[in-house]
Amino acid sequence: MMASAANPTASDSADLIFTGGRVHIVDDGNHEAEALAVAGDRIVLAGSNAEVRALAAPGARRVDLAGRSLLPGFIDAHCHFVWLGSAQAAIDCKGPGMGSIDALTEAVRQRARALPAGAWIRGAGYDQTKLAERRHPNRFDFDAVSPNNPVIFTRTCGHICAVNSLALDLAGIQDDTRDPPAGRFDRRDGRNLGVAYEQAQDALLRAAAPTEPELRTALSAADRLYLQAGTTSIHDAGGLAGRAMGIAPDLIAAGALAVRLYAFALVGFGSQSGMTYLDAGIHTGFGDDRLRIGAFKVVTDGSSSGPTAATRAPYRNDPLDSGILYWSQEELDGMIGRAHRAGFQITMHALGDRAIDQGLKAIERALCEQPRNDPRPRLEHCGICPPDLQERVRALGVTPTMQPAFFWEFGDGYLRNYGRERAGVMFPVRSLLHAGVRVAGSSDAPVTDHRPLFGIGQAMTRATAGGQSCGEGECISLRDAIRIYTINAAYAAFEDRIKGSLEPGKLADLVLLSDDITRVPAGELRDLPVAMTVSGGQVVYEA
């Protein structure tokens, strides 16, 4: 093993040391060491047991790794932090016994009995393709069990919701309300069924927005989940940009929020925070290493699993459907160009190849019209990405933020909806890495499992829950999988100089696993327990 070390001095006396294990430094050479020393909030040495022990100050905490793996704290480069926390208080549609609309409505009936009239009943994570009825729940299903409480159930992708009649009334939606340009309602016999797709959700999401106490509870719940998973930083894909942005600093100051937050400005899903930030002169980089303004994100198409992603060719099982595109090229170019000129890192939600093509055109135009040093444009998801689009991603210096865990939950649907050829080039991490593209790893939680170890295992196998695989040629090594959830994710937020690896001088953000990660089969990584999480030299979770 090769160590990575600075030239420590007496002033570098360590107050936290780890010895006797496998320290994955995740530097350019993928070196390893057997021990690590931390002083204050920084790493001072990754080296031999003897070197690290020599730095220990009197009273330093000493952790025996006992052969276990110590890694940089994981970074989830695309999630929905508030939504993940809120989902913990919602009816869990992915839970045991929730495989039918009858089960969902019975859960609503029980919840309604426990709540006062008028209180919202929320459900999270249903998937109509996995329900016995093979359809979305609708207003009439929910009306029968909850006439006095508004109900909103969000599909697992977040791009579709199902509500009852009271929720429609509170949102000002009637049977004759027209479909928006980039969305639609399911209808039958002239009646709005309360199933809303894409931008048709906007008024419903505003009506069902959580209260301030609910937001505080959600932020704390998401923080706990991530620390338990070994995650020390997240990139929030837009939900923090509203009222939660005013609450988070209070929680951080009180020591109640330990995960580091890189918060996107958003245009889409009922939010115009991106335009508000532009008007106020706020841009990427405002803040500190605990809470920082991140990228300007525009939602451009639907979900990969809905499916509502905007594709070049129609879906395999529906020759009349090729998804939903939110904007014209001119509209998207205008928003992205303005944000880039204002100093924002620019990014777009783009899942289908038609949306990726549109997003790359907007990025290219923005970069050409206003050259800027090291802009690091991103694409969120970058789902169906064949070789021609991969080359453009590389040429433009785009960082794609991908979700390998999607294959487990949605992969069988990908094969069914898009066909094996297109599914094989979805989230093509291996090809892009080999082309020199810095792919960042993420979960999109709560769309899928928030645990980075789940995503690392899935990046290595691309396995579906049904026992298939989506493009074995795009599977990557453990070493590369670790990098996309650490140093590459740090790069995606301009933070690779201060985090993402265990090099001296960087923030002491660490995760200690309960075993040597190299000895655990890829399919079992999701269940590998985290023993300890450290943020800025402070132990913030310990099993």
Segment 443-462 shows an average pLDDT of 97
pTM of the model: 0.94
Q: What does the pLDDT read at residue 11? A: 58
Segment 414-441 shows an average pLDDT of 96
**pLDDT level of residue 1 (50, 70, 90 thresholds):** very low
**pLDDT level of residue 177 (50, 70, 90 thresholds):** very high
Q: What does the pLDDT read at residue 4? A: 46
Half-sphere exposure of 395 (CA within 13 A, CB side): 11
**pLDDT level of residue 55 (50, 70, 90 thresholds):** very high
Helices (H), 45-195: 49-55, 81-87, 101-114, 139-143, 165-170
Q: What does the pLDDT read at residue 405? A: 97
Q: How far apart are CA 519 and CA 499, in angstroms?
A: 26
Tens-digit pLDDT profile for residues 154-173 = 999 999 999 999 999 999 99
Segment 239-268 shows an average pLDDT of 93
Q: How far apart are CA 402 and CA 383, in angstroms?
A: 7
Q: How far apart are CA 44 and CA 9, in angstroms?
A: 9
Site of tokens 């995503």 = 455
Tens-digit pLDDT profile for residues 85-117 = 999 999 999 999 999 999 999 999 999 999 999
Q: What does the pLDDT read at residue 271? A: 76
Segment 23-35 shows an average pLDDT of 97
Segment 420-425 shows an average pLDDT of 94
Taking alpha carbons only, the member of 312, 350, 353 closest to residue 332 is 350
Taking alpha carbons only, the member of 404, 235, 184 closest to residue 304 is 404
Structure-block tokens of residue 340: 């880039």
Three-class secondary structure of residue 520 per DSSP: coil
Q: What does the pLDDT read at residue 385? A: 98
Three-class secondary structure of residue 102 per DSSP: helix
Q: What does the pLDDT read at residue 269? A: 72
Flag whether pLDDT at 507 surpasses 60: yes
Q: How far apart are CA 514 and CA 516, in angstroms?
A: 7
Three-class secondary structure of residue 175 per DSSP: coil
The residues, any chain, with a CB within 8 Å of residue 54's CB and separated by 6 or more, are none
Q: What does the pLDDT read at residue 2? A: 45
Segment 363-387 shows an average pLDDT of 97
Percent of the chain with pLDDT over 70: 98
Segment 481-504 shows an average pLDDT of 98
CA angle 263, 268, 274 (to 5 degrees): 50
Segment 71-98 shows an average pLDDT of 97
Q: What does the pLDDT read at residue 472? A: 93
Structure-block tokens of residue 496: 């690779």
Q: How far apart are CA 495 and CA 512, in angstroms?
A: 21
Q: Hey, what domains does the chain have and what are their CATH numbers?
A: 1-73+501-543 (2.30.40.10), 90-207 (3.10.310.70), 269-500 (3.20.20.140)
Q: How far apart are CA 95 and CA 295, in angstroms?
A: 33
Taking alpha carbons only, the member of 498, 285, 286, 291 closest to residue 375 is 285
Are β-strands 260-267 and 231-236 bridged in parallel, bridged antiparallel, or unpaired?
Answer: parallel
Mean pLDDT of the chain: 95
The answer to whether the CB of 284 falls within 8 A of the CB of 272 is no
Q: What does the pLDDT read at residue 471? A: 93
Are β-strands 56-64 and 42-47 bridged in parallel, bridged antiparallel, or unpaired?
Answer: unpaired
In one-letter notation, the amino acid at residue 109 is R
DSSP code at position 528: P
Evaluated on CA atoms 527, 529, 534, 535, the torsion sign reads: positive
**pLDDT level of residue 5 (50, 70, 90 thresholds):** very low
Taking alpha carbons only, the member of 12, 28, 32 closest to residue 537 is 12
Tens-digit pLDDT profile for residues 199-250 = 999 999 999 999 999 999 999 999 999 999 999 999 999 888 788 999 999 9
Q: How far apart are CA 346 and CA 532, in angstroms?
A: 34
CA angle 419, 425, 431 (to 5 degrees): 165
Q: What does the pLDDT read at residue 317? A: 86
The residues, any chain, with a CB within 8 Å of residue 183's CB and separated by 6 or more, are 196, 197, 198, 199, 200, 201, 202, 324
Segment 288-311 shows an average pLDDT of 95
